[in-house]
Amino acid sequence: MAKDKKMVEAITSMEEDFAQWYTDVVKKADLIDYTSVKGCMAIKPAGYAIWENIQHELDRRFKETGVENVYMPMLIPESLLQKEKDHVEGFAPEVAWVTHGGLEPLQERLCIRPTSETLFCDFYAKEIQSHRDLPKVYNQWCSVMRWEKTTRPFLRSREFLWQEGHTAHATAEEAEERTIQMLNLYADFCEQVLAIPVIKGRKTDKEKFAGAEATYTIESLMHDGKALQSGTSHNFGDGFAKAFGIQYTDKENKLQYVHQTSWGMTTRMIGALIMVHGDDSGLKLPPRIAPVQAVIIPIQQRKEGVLEKAAELEAALKAAGIRVKTDATDKSPGFKFAEQEMRGIPVRIECGPKDIEANQAVVARRDTGEKIVVALPELAEKVTEILNTIQNDMLERARTHRDAHTYTATTYEEFVKTINEKPGFIKAMWCGDQACEDKIKEDTAATSRCIPFNQEHLADTCVCCGKPATKMVYWGKAY
């Protein structure tokens, strides 16, 4: 049993080497495998099931706000990509180019979509004529490709899965409202479902999306103190509309440009789940996103009545709406325990002959290790309660960790010292000048994460240049 346990647990400790720990968890929790295609991963059932739950939860929330799903081509003609100047500059260096179809060279190169603003704009230019055609609130679930040089599973891969929403509105106000609405939706989803607290704010001009007027972001903090951009929502104003000629006739029969937004969340959130919640035993999934919320592990399962009782308990938990499985394989209980821990299943239910005799089971929490003895008739009710507690506790724990690793700096010396010694967010004042962002990045490798909606007045002057400050900014090293 001890040997079995060791087998599964042979992962690098997170304190020792966080990057290696991450890679170990990704592999040992059976989330992905590497492939023959450099920078592209195979997402295995345990990983894909998390993504399916993310899709399901987000899609439901989208549709409640009037979003409709569509599907655009995966290829973009080069001439189309080039229509919006900032956009092509941002993306052209990192796209994959299709140059041949079958045995023939193409007359015009096509890139695999790195994002689909240009395709949606091309589409909207034809679809939208009148104010009656507005708003358009479309979304697609698809894969995109960005030719990254260094890649890491989920966090930065050449191909990744995401959703991208693209909307068109009659007025600037309505576009801004939708941009913020989707940012709030992402933030609520992260906190309520993924148990990941986020900072909401606006990106600086340096960090905003190629072609956007304003980019809003939610930023989360990983266990190692590095930041992760977790979802973005862009307001394009009428910039793309002018580049693509997307116009409508208003109620007074005048031609107007539409105002557009886009917003996306990706498979990198699986990376966030690992890095926010995981520990040296592996993954820890919040119950609301866990494909399997509880696993029943029969003890001495060959003894009479044990598997029958396990089946009975499984049925009772299922009836209560719990996603439950029984592990009745011929592996040892110790191996099964370690596997449940590695895969991050929130709750383990142990039940053997002695438990059955006492009409009880032992419920072990993945997040704390706590073991709770529960009378069998109350099992479904108690497990539901424990899953809710785990969900809340995981969010609170992540919030406490984040807050404990959020620092402030009012002098540049303090800023640099903190960045170098204390991984986490640093709140500091900024003059609004990109030169200061450049200097900070150059000196410390930290970037501005966002100008948070919740502003605090920490000082009168920019932490970098000493000129009058206009905003408080979250800074940090980021994935």
Binding site for its own copies (CB under 8 A): 33, 35-37, 40-45, 48-49, 51-52, 68-77, 80, 93-103, 109-110, 112, 119, 122-123, 126-127, 138, 142-143, 145, 147, 158-159, 161
Which CB, 123 or 209, lies closer to its own copies? 123
User: Would you state the torsion angle of the CA atoms of residues 295, 298, 301, 305, taken in this order, to the nearest 10 degrees?
Assistant: -110
Least Å from the CB of residue 41 to its own copies = 7
Which CB, 86 or 205, lies closer to its own copies? 86
Largest pairwise CA distance in the chain: 81
Least Å from the CB of residue 311 to its own copies = 18
Which CB, 45 or 369, lies closer to its own copies? 45
- Alpha-carbon torsion (418, 420, 422, 423), positive or negative: positive
Backbone angles phi, psi at 290, to 5 degrees: -70, 125
Cβ contact 325:314 at 8 Å: yes
Burial of 372 (0-12, 13-18, 19+ CB in 10 A): middle
Least Å from the CB of residue 407 to its own copies = 37
Which CB, 32 or 274, lies closer to its own copies? 32
Exposure string of 252-286, with b = 16+ CB inside 10 Å and e = fewer, is eeeebbbbbbbbbbbbbbbbbbbbbbbbebbbbbb
Least Å from the CB of residue 469 to its own copies = 38
Which CB, 122 or 176, lies closer to its own copies? 122
**Residue 195, SS3 per DSSP:** coil
Separation of CA 26 from chain center: 15
Nearest-angstrom CA–CA distance, 429 and 216: 19
Least Å from the CB of residue 395 to its own copies = 28
Cβ contact 347:290 at 8 Å: no
Which CB, 74 or 172, lies closer to its own copies? 74
Cβ neighbours around 436 below 10 Å, total: 22
Nearest-angstrom CA–CA distance, 167 and 246: 12
Q: What are the tokens at 98?
A: 């299709």
Least Å from the CB of residue 118 to its own copies = 9
Cβ contact 478:451 at 8 Å: no
Least Å from the CB of residue 262 to its own copies = 16
Which CB, 31 or 380, lies closer to its own copies? 31
Q: What are the tokens at 235?
A: 């307001």
Q: Cis omega (within 30 of 0) on the bond before 135?
A: yes
Which CB, 83 or 471, lies closer to its own copies? 83
Least Å from the CB of residue 122 to its own copies = 5
